[in-house]
Structure 1
Amino acid sequence: MSMLTPPGMGGKKFRVTGDRYPRMRPRRRRGRLVFLLVAAVTVLSLIGYGTLQLIDVFSGDDDGGRAPRAQSGARPDQDCAPPARDTRTNEPSAPPEPAAITVNVYNATDRTGLAQETADALAERGFTIGKVENAPRELDGQVTSPGLLLGATAAEESGALSVLATQLDGAENGEPLALEEGADPATVVDLVIGDGFTELTAADEAQRRLDGLASPAADASAPAC
């Protein structure tokens, strides 16, 4: 009898019979699967949000550093400038007559004599002409639209910019240049002729627009740009 045989066993040999053995149940993985599912949904949401942000960034308009206050995509018969208002009553008021507006004409293109030709045409339509010369260095060759209208806030509020805008389709508004000492900011505006310029608005159409501006009621009902 072996020394390893428990007492009382008589040296008999025993063996395990049957085909059933105790087995360990595998650990439940439900919690792990839920975690992975939540993580996957979170990642997909972040990817979708990032994609929308990229689409928004690349589909936005590039203002090129000098953001115009009025876009050139408006219809030819629609004036984008806000109506002039009486500062005392805040009611729409008639804009100044062309003769009361001094226009400085600058040529930002490489076409010689364009500023003088345009100034002469505006003079025939009743505007008072100031400077006629090449555009300042910072604007020379930088204006791709038909023209850039520059004026102080007072010129916008008085309606002087709106009056000049009736003379040129596709013109944009920009930051004003420095005014000369003693100049009235409400009636002095600058027209910088750009590469997109071909000609002024037809005289009869420009006059029709001026007549519309002269009627505060009609101007107040005009759609905003």
Structure 2
Amino acid sequence: MGGKYRITGDKYPQMRRPRRSRLVLAATASVVALGLAGWGTLQLIDIFTGGDKAASAADRKADCPSAKPSAPAAALPKPAKIKVNVYNATPRGGLAKAAADELKKRGFAIGKIGNAPAAYDKKVTGTGILLGAPTAVNGTFPVLGTQLPGAATKTDARKSADVDLIIGTKFKAFSTPQAASTALTALTKPAPAPSSC
């Protein structure tokens, strides 16, 4: 081979990308960089202004409730004033009687003891259900709930103040007397919520 196409020396021609693909790549990188910078700026603005809330101090004061306990201590009844009906919704025999005896030792008044009604029998998959009148939600349920953390609460149309404790299949034991006492103390003297103002 010879002529004007003859390669001489040790350097060979290099293939380059077309100019157009470099422009597209540069434009895409610029758009991504600007998008990231804009997103970062919005994140910083949200952090320093409090997000969706209005940034003015007056609006923040209006949104900020004063630190109040969740329930007044006087609204919670003593365990001796709570009449508990204990029902067993599990296949284990004698569980309602044992649970009632333990609650009685802890100061609760015991009402009926037996198997759960057909609507709940062998259908309570958690630790238990506290069932009572709507008025029990802010008074009786929290106090009885200190003995059985994780129990679900449900209201019905009853007018009486008694509460049903329906024991579920995951029930192992009540909380220890010390843990229940600590939880009850926390209910009667709740710490005020931390203020974000």
Q: What TM-score do you get using the length of structure 1 for normalisation?
A: 0.52
Contact 2:89/2:169 (<8 A) preserved? yes
Counterpart contact for 1:94–1:213, Cα < 8 Å = no
1:174 corresponds to 2:148: no
Offset, 1:83:
4.3
Give the deviation of 1:94 after TM superposition.
Answer: 4.2
Partner of 1:154 in structure 2? 135
Please name the residue that 1:115 is paired with. Answer: 96
Structure 1 residue aligned with 2:193: 221
2:86 maps to: 105
Report the equivalent of 1:197.
Answer: 171
SS at match of 1:119: helix
The match for 2:160 among 176, 179, 184 is 184
- Structure 1 alignment gaps of length 5 or more: 1-81, 86-91
Whole-angstrom distance in 2 between the partners of 1:116 and 1:83: 34
Would you say how many aligned residue pairs link Structure 1 and Structure 2? 126
How far apart in 2 are the matches of 1:133 and 1:110? 12
Instruction: Render the CA deviation track for 1:35-56: whole Å, top value 9, x for unaligned.
Output: xxxxxxxxxxxxxxxxxxxxxx
Q: Tell me, yes or no, if the aligned pair for 2:134 and 2:155 is still in contact at 8 Å.
A: no
Q: Is the 8 A contact 1:84 1:156 kept in 2?
A: no
- More helix by proportion, 1 or 2? 2
Q: Partner of 2:24 in structure 1? A: none
Residue 128 (structure 1) aligns with = 109
Gaps of 5+ in 2: 1-68
Larger radius of gyration: 1
Local SS of the residue matching 1:174: strand
- Cα separation, 2, equivalents of 1:103 and 1:126: 11
Q: Is the 2:96–2:115 contact (alpha carbons within 8 Å) kept by the matching residues of 1? A: yes
In structure 2, what is the Cα distance between the partners aligned to 1:83 and 1:129? 28
Does structure 1 residue 163 correspond to structure 2 residue 143?
A: yes
TM-score by length of 2: 0.59
Give the percent of matched residue pairs that are identical in Structure 1 and Structure 2.
46
TM superposition shift of 1:184: 3.4
1:42-81 → structure 2 map (5 Å cutoff): none
1:141 paired with 2:122, answer yes
What one-letter code is carried by the residue in structure 1 that aligns with 2:122?
A: G
